[in-house]
Amino acid sequence: MTDYGDLLKNIPPKTWVALSKDETRVVGQGGSYGEAVSQAGKAGEEDPILFKTPESDGLQLFFL
């Protein structure tokens, strides 16, 4: 099981994050959904898991 605390510890609040399909790597991030998707594509991840980090501490996952 992936430790999201370690994986996301350097990601700022309110950031779109793209994870690899196996949830072991951050393959993209940015201020917009499109930016995270674009970075993921450049990293070779065609179908990333995407979510936006919350404004405060804690993790909320929204799968699209």
The answer to the question of residue 43 being in a domain is yes
The answer to the question of residue 63 being in a domain is no
State which residues form the domain around 27: 4-52
The answer to the question of residue 20 being in a domain is yes
The answer to the question of residue 23 being in a domain is yes
44: left (phi over 0), alpha (psi -120 to 50) or beta: left
Per-residue 3-state assignment (H helix, E strand, C coil) for the chain: CCCHHHHCCCCCCCCEEEECCCCCCEEEEECCHHHHHHHHHHCCCCCCEEEECCCCCCCCCCCC
The answer to the question of residue 57 being in a domain is no
- Stated pTM of the model: 0.81
The answer to the question of residue 61 being in a domain is no
- Give how many domains the chain has, as a whole number: 1
The answer to the question of residue 62 being in a domain is no
Q: pLDDT tens digits for 5-64?
A: 889 999 999 999 999 999 999 999 999 999 999 999 999 999 999 999 988 765 666 666
CB atoms under 10 Å from CB of 15, counted, come to 17
